[in-house]
């Protein structure tokens, strides 16, 4: 069986943590920032862990990470 190919778009957006979980950036931080509160924008700066529901799919996209 051939090797699995890494989805390059996903590989650029995800990073593996020390424990093996996937980290991702939060959505809604690119434009229309004037109406969003400072607190909300500050929270959007932090990366977060991919949810359990999506983890299986993400692991298939980036087997090498």
- Asked if pLDDT for residue 1 goes beyond 90, the answer is no
Looking at the domain assignment, is residue 47 inside a domain?
A: yes
- Residue 56 belongs to domain with CATH number: 4.10.410.60
Q: Taking all residues of the chain, what is their mean pLDDT, rounded to a whole number?
A: 96
The domain containing residue 37 runs over which residues?
A: 8-61
Count CB neighbours of 14 within 10 A: 19
| Category of 43 on φ-ψ map: left (φ > 0), alpha (ψ -120 to 50) or beta | alpha
Overall number of domains in the chain:
1
- Asked if pLDDT for residue 35 goes beyond 90, the answer is yes
Q: Specify the pTM.
A: 0.83
- Asked if pLDDT for residue 18 goes beyond 90, the answer is yes
Looking at the domain assignment, is residue 1 inside a domain?
A: no
Looking at the domain assignment, is residue 3 inside a domain?
A: no
pLDDT digits (tens, 9 = 90+) for 53-65: 999 999 999 998 8
């Amino acid at each position: 069986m051939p090797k699995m190919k890494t989805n390059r778009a996903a590989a650029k957006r995800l990073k593996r943590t020390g424990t093996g979980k996937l980290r991702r950036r939060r959505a809604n931080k690119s434009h229309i920032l004037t109406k969003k509160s400072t607190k909300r924008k500050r929270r959007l700066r932090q990366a977060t862990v991919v949810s359990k529901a999506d983890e299986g799919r993400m692991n298939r996209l980036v087997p090498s990470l």
